[in-house]
Chain A
């Protein structure tokens, strides 16, 4: 072995494979997403609406067994402008990742914002989902390509805070 080929480390990859299950609540949600519908789940005790639902209300520790159909409109609760390219990621920086709060939901989820200059994006901005063509829909929120601003007045996000009922 030549001097250049010498390594001072050894590679030892470790892999474990799993059959991941989303849980019965999230499964119900994803089955609706495949049909192009967003159906949150609500807590029977505190009425908080979760989207995506994970199976329980983590405030109350009970199953979220009430289905709540939601629209694909909402607002930007928080966002970040990504300037650094990620290897393997096809999206060209700068682009925006935002926490999306759908109307009627009490939690937000992460998604992309497109269709606007990144410098113009602001918290409280109204947005709506842009869906992939129907024949590409699967059990994934990636059925939504991204969210794009709509011509509605901004929302004061302070009003979105969960109110104890």
Chain B
């Protein structure tokens, strides 16, 4: 495996409603910010890969329009995933491993405000045969929360703690959308949206964009003195047939843990793509993170840009390692209902 490092990451302030700003106008500032910070341009980028969801914009091939935010003359090599941009990073990783590129620009963007996110995510994710059944993302998450609570894998108190900590940690995150603190009384007084989940257990509707640049080891040191290396990356998907899954057994994540030999690593920080409060204690337990500071950015509960939040978990882990006396970080990205598809990324700062 070639050594590959993250050399930069930028995130647009997360907005409840970006209003008149279109996707291109959301992407351009973060890409320019990245280039300016590193003192480089698109001419230094061998491969460009984006992550987005056309259903969010409501137009076929909407992702092609997103490319208007990028300098494409002289012509560039580019690709796109109809997924969270964390998977665009994975594709870029492969491109570098294959020797087709030494540097890659990754960007993700999503506006959830223009449509009904429950219906949009349902259409994107539901593998229907004849007609959509329209299960919404919150109800599906609630099923998993209920399973985990009834099996005593997590407790209601842990869910409350996850919410309170997310809000408290939002102060570390200049781009967080939700920064209002919440206490136990307010939490308990909140009505269920889909039992056992109330509004605090669910992520806010968010608009935004993010960008990242990764590079082979040699190139990384050309552009920065402080690259953060991707020591391990692995992703696994479980059945799209939710009835055939045991929602309390993360078989994909466990396989990734084994593949990446994570049990041997002492992590200093972790950022998890946990969109719902119950997923925080669940993944902390699965990933053995009880003593590891987790979601210091507040995580998706304080800002959850669709098709970006997974890349943001990687980006926030990168930022934590860069600005603290940390060595090892774990990032998690997820896709699909009930943590169906998961990616684990082990980042390491070389001393």
Whether the Cβ atoms of A56 and B69 lie closer than 8 Å is yes
Given A18-B115, A20-B58, A23-B24 in contact, is the A60-B120 Cβ separation under 8 Å?
A: no
Could you say which residues of chain A place their CB within 8 Å of the CB of B116?
16-17
Q: Total contacts A to B, CB within 8 angstroms?
A: 83
Q: Residues 25-39 of chain B: 1 if any A CB is under 8 Å from the residue's CB, otherwise 0?
A: 100100110000000
Whether the Cβ atoms of B58 and A24 lie closer than 8 Å is no
Whether the Cβ atoms of A22 and B68 lie closer than 8 Å is no
Whether the Cβ atoms of A26 and B72 lie closer than 8 Å is no
Whether the Cβ atoms of B24 and A21 lie closer than 8 Å is no
C-alpha spacing A62/B67, complex, angstroms: 11
C-alpha spacing A48/B73, complex, angstroms: 13
C-alpha spacing A107/B196, complex, angstroms: 54
* Interface presence of B189 (CB below 8 A): no
Whether the Cβ atoms of A54 and B24 lie closer than 8 Å is yes
Secondary structure class of chain A's binding surface, majority of residues:
loop
Whether the Cβ atoms of B25 and A23 lie closer than 8 Å is yes
Q: Could you say which of B25, B71, B113 contacts A55, with CB atoms under 8 Å apart?
A: B25
Given A27-B20, A61-B31 in contact, is the A20-B25 Cβ separation under 8 Å?
A: no
* Interface presence of A91 (CB below 8 A): no
Whether the Cβ atoms of A56 and B21 lie closer than 8 Å is no
Whether the Cβ atoms of A25 and B25 lie closer than 8 Å is yes
Q: How many residues of A contact B (CB 8 A)?
A: 26
Q: Could you say which of B65, B70, B114 contacts A21, with CB atoms under 8 Å apart?
A: B114
Distance in Å: Cβ of A109 to nearest Cβ of chain B: 16
Q: Could you say which of A14, A55, A58, A63 contacts B72, with CB atoms under 8 Å apart?
A: A58
Q: Residues 1-32 of chain B: 1 if any A CB is under 8 Å from the residue's CB, otherwise 0?
A: 00000000000000000111110110010011
Whether the Cβ atoms of A59 and B114 lie closer than 8 Å is no
For A54, the closest partner residue in chain B by CB is B68
Whether the Cβ atoms of B22 and A55 lie closer than 8 Å is yes
Distance in Å: Cβ of A40 to nearest Cβ of chain B: 16
* Interface presence of A10 (CB below 8 A): yes
* Interface presence of B55 (CB below 8 A): yes
* Interface presence of B131 (CB below 8 A): yes
Q: Residues 38-80 of chain A: 1 if any B CB is under 8 Å from the residue's CB, otherwise 0?
A: 0000000010000000111111111100000000000000000
Distance in Å: Cβ of A20 to nearest Cβ of chain B: 7
Most buried by B among A19, A25, A58, A63: A58
C-alpha spacing A105/B279, complex, angstroms: 53
Most buried by B among A12, A20, A23, A57: A23
B: residues with CB less than 8 A from A are 18-22, 24-25, 28, 31-32, 42, 55, 57-58, 65, 67-73, 113-116, 119-120, 123, 130-132
Interface CB pairs A-B, < 8 A, 14:
A17-B115, A19-B114, A21-B18, A21-B20, A24-B22, A46-B73, A54-B22, A54-B24, A55-B22, A56-B25, A58-B67, A58-B68, A59-B71, A62-B28
Q: Which 8 A-B pairs have the closest CB atoms?
A: A23-B22, A61-B71, A12-B131, A58-B68, A59-B73, A18-B58, A18-B114, A61-B70
A: residues with CB less than 8 A from B are 10, 12, 14, 16-27, 46, 54-63
**Other 18 A-B pairs with CB < 8 A, given A46-B73, A62-B71:** A16-B116, A16-B119, A17-B116, A19-B114, A20-B58, A21-B20, A23-B24, A24-B21, A25-B25, A54-B22, A54-B68, A60-B71, A60-B73, A61-B28, A61-B31, A61-B69, A61-B72, A62-B28
